[in-house]
Amino acid sequence: MRIDIITVLPELLESPFSHSIIKRAQNKGIAEIYVHNLRDFSKDKHRRVDDYSFGGDAGMVIKIEPTDNAISFLKSQRDYDEVIYTSPDGEPYTQKQANILSCKKNILILCGHYKGIDQRIRDAYITKEISIGDYVLTGGELAAAVITDSIVRLLPGAISDETSALTDSFQDKLLAPPVYTRPAEYKGMKVPDVLLSGNFKEIEKWKMKQSLERTKRLRPDLYNDLMNQE
């Protein structure tokens, strides 16, 4: 998989992609991640990419010309399955979306910034708008990092134990059950007996019960959706 990211602050993405699973996936050739500085596509002598908006609203807007130049250049190199714009008014991001995107070959992410981008870019190029939550960030770089991380970790070979990703929270619309490790007792706090029993059938029943209870308590919206499907 290849992921291209267009941003006005490429430095913000250096650390997230230089460590842990994302770094290993790149070293293995499982994922290719390229960050492009939008200012490189500006014809302004000061490399400016923003301007005031028509209508007199406060704040700056990313200009159409450098953004069009960047997207057009990248699209001339390859076909993209999705051109994503990170925006607070986009579709809420979910594990289901991450699963779908992980099956794509090429993805282009345009990071929102300032008061947004010229609407004509959204109309002409964007195939999917994504929000990672009902709040506003300084820019879409962190959102792009979140999206990239959630996708890459699902790629075959990115995680040594691939079943681990399949049992994460939200994969089946349930929160994951509690987890424990050694020692079995610490300062009077004990691991549930069923997890030490070796009875895998009972262990799986316990995990499902715990997942249901946690989801109902912590995320009643997910729990109700699940119950309504049955």
Domain CATH number, residue 202:
1.10.1270.20
In a domain, 141, yes or no: yes
The reported pLDDT for the residue numbered 146 is 98
In a domain, 164, yes or no: no
How do residues 42-98 score in pLDDT, each as one tens digit?
999 999 999 999 988 888 999 999 999 999 999 999 999 999 999 999 999 999 999
**Residues 34 and 91 grouped into a single domain:** yes
| pTM for the model | 0.88
**Residues 47 and 113 grouped into a single domain:** yes
Is residue 90 within 8 A of residue 116, CB to CB? The reply is no
Q: Which residues contact 230 (CB under 8 A, 6 or more apart)?
A: none
Q: Which residues contact 111 (CB under 8 A, 6 or more apart)?
A: 5, 6, 7, 8, 9, 86, 139, 140, 141, 143, 144
CA 5 to chain centre: 12
Q: What is the CATH number of the domain that holds 72?
A: 3.40.1280.10
Q: What is the Cα–Cα distance from 25 to 83, expressed in whole angstroms?
A: 22
**Residues 145 and 31 grouped into a single domain:** yes
The reported pLDDT for the residue numbered 169 is 59
**Residues 110 and 177 grouped into a single domain:** no
In a domain, 146, yes or no: yes
Mean pLDDT value of segment 20-32: 97
Strand partners, 131: 92
Is residue 96 within 8 A of residue 222, CB to CB? The reply is no
**Residues 136 and 215 grouped into a single domain:** no
Q: Which of 112, 105, 115 is nearest to 60 (CA)?
A: 115
What is the domain range of residue 182? 169-229
